[in-house]
Amino acid sequence: MDFELFIAKKISSGKTDNLSRPVIRISYISIALGLALMTISVAIVIGFKKTITDKMTGFAADLQIVPFNNNASLEEQPLRIYREFVEKLKANPQIRHIQFTARKAGVVKTNEQIQGVVVKGVGADFDRRFLMESLVAGTFPKTNAITKTNQVLISATLASRLKVTTGDHLRVWFVSGDKARSRGRKFTVSGIFKTSLEEFDSRYIIADIRHLQRLNDWDKNEAGSIEVFIKQPEKLDKIATEIYKEIPYDLNLVTIRDEYPQIFNWLDLLDMNVVVVLVLLILVAGITMVSTLLIIILERTSMIGVLKALGASNSSIRKIFLYKAAVIISTGMFWGNVAGLGFFFIQKYLQIIKLSPENYYMDFVPVELSVSYVLLLNLGTFAVCLAMLIVPSWYISRIVPARALRYE
């Protein structure tokens, strides 16, 4: 065993003097609270971003392939579905699923309300998992490749405004662009969903795509867009660039970030907030440890004088106190992990902290954490705190043995 480590263990296992005992306890608490709060902050931000991103992509897909035009309205231009192109997309190993959709603006009129809506047409190929998980009443419309259905899915927000429930009928009026004449369709509400995202809940109705194809005078091989789900959403920009190179010249590729930039810009700001919180908490823990180390050195001045008189070098004595500091940091980090991970598991499985869906897009605080993030937080905290102690440990070199032996 190293000489320095042996002495450090003796110091750690021995009785602590009255001067440093409360200071060491404060260091334990400071490091434990700092690491716990850092773990909780990272878990909440990652969970918040993942939950909202999953909701956005679940409803609108990661990528959309649309006709290349400057039309920014909801009156879509037709995109012809070529079998060769579709097979090429399906063969791409980065693509998880593709589906064909269409959108059209309309107006819902009831006896008491008039509400502007956007009808999103979907077919048998639609990935309905997200909306199935978001259902609060009824069932998903029975869209299939054989028969057209009049069933629709509406949001809880629209259902409340229009005062309708499952089984009720809705009449939606559409205005065809060039002909400037209104055309109505009667639908039946089969289900009600709630995503807690105002962009979707306040206006979208899910219907059979064949209604929109007929309203737009399209044939069965035309759609408004091709929605693409990718296997690695974290590589969205890179994959989008690669897919864009493979699509025909008259088509354009729009990412979910391009379509809803305000939401994703807001999510990006959360990263900066977390960085600020992490820096402040690590600095507080590090400064506390600096004070603790200086007090321990002053408390052990006589021991330092004896070690120097026996021939110990300044670097060896510094290592003794850095080992002692490492023990304090590790103990504080242990309890910090217990507190931080305890909160993580309680919130993840019990969801004890609730939120207002109208303000936060969800009804509870989401948390998400991986082993790599936990390891990085622990290694970063330990390394930064220990690095901040190197400079104050140089105070040992200024202690003169002759004076230190008389130190009380």
In tens, the pLDDT along 39-78 reads 999 999 999 999 998 999 999 899 999 887 755 556 778 8
CA-CA distance, 191 to 159, in Å (whole number)?
10
Give the orientation angle of helix 314-350 with respect to helix 371-388, to 10 degrees: 150
Residue 105 bridge partners (DSSP): 118
Which pLDDT score is estimated for 189? 93
Q: pLDDT digit of tens for each residue in the chain (408 aa)?
A: 576 777 777 666 555 555 667 888 888 899 999 999 999 999 999 999 999 989 999 998 999 998 877 555 567 788 888 888 888 888 889 999 999 999 998 898 877 778 889 999 998 889 999 999 999 999 999 887 778 889 999 999 999 888 889 998 888 888 765 555 678 888 999 999 998 888 888 889 999 999 898 888 898 888 989 999 999 988 999 999 999 888 888 888 999 998 888 888 888 888 888 888 888 988 888 888 888 888 877 777 777 777 777 777 777 777 887 888 888 899 999 999 999 999 999 999 998 998 887 777 888 889 999 899 999 999 999 998 888 888 877 777 666 665 655 555
CA-CA distance, 39 to 50, in Å (whole number)?
16
Which pLDDT score is estimated for 116? 87
Quote the tokens at residue 132.
Answer: 């199935």
Residues 362, 355: contact at Cβ < 8 Å? yes
Phi, psi for 15 (deg, rounded to 5): -70, 130
DSSP 327: H
Strands 95-109, 225-230: parallel, antiparallel or unpaired by DSSP? antiparallel
What does pTM read for this prediction?
0.82
Which pLDDT score is estimated for 74? 63
Quote the tokens at residue 168.
Answer: 């009720």
Quote the tokens at residue 346.
Answer: 């309680």
Which pLDDT score is estimated for 16? 52
Give the orientation angle of helix 261-299 with respect to helix 371-388, to 10 degrees: 40
- SS3 state of residue 178: coil
Helices (DSSP H) in 204-260: which residue ranges? 209-215, 236-244, 256-259
CA-CA distance, 63 to 61, in Å (whole number)?
6
Residues 354, 188: contact at Cβ < 8 Å? no
Which pLDDT score is estimated for 228? 93
Residues 119, 106: contact at Cβ < 8 Å? yes
Which pLDDT score is estimated for 215? 87
Each residue of 149-162: pLDDT tens digit? 899 999 999 998 88
CA-CA distance, 230 to 239, in Å (whole number)?
8
Which pLDDT score is estimated for 95? 92
Phi, psi for 102 (deg, rounded to 5): -150, 155
Which pLDDT score is estimated for 345? 94
CA-CA distance, 233 to 70, in Å (whole number)?
27
Which pLDDT score is estimated for 71? 56
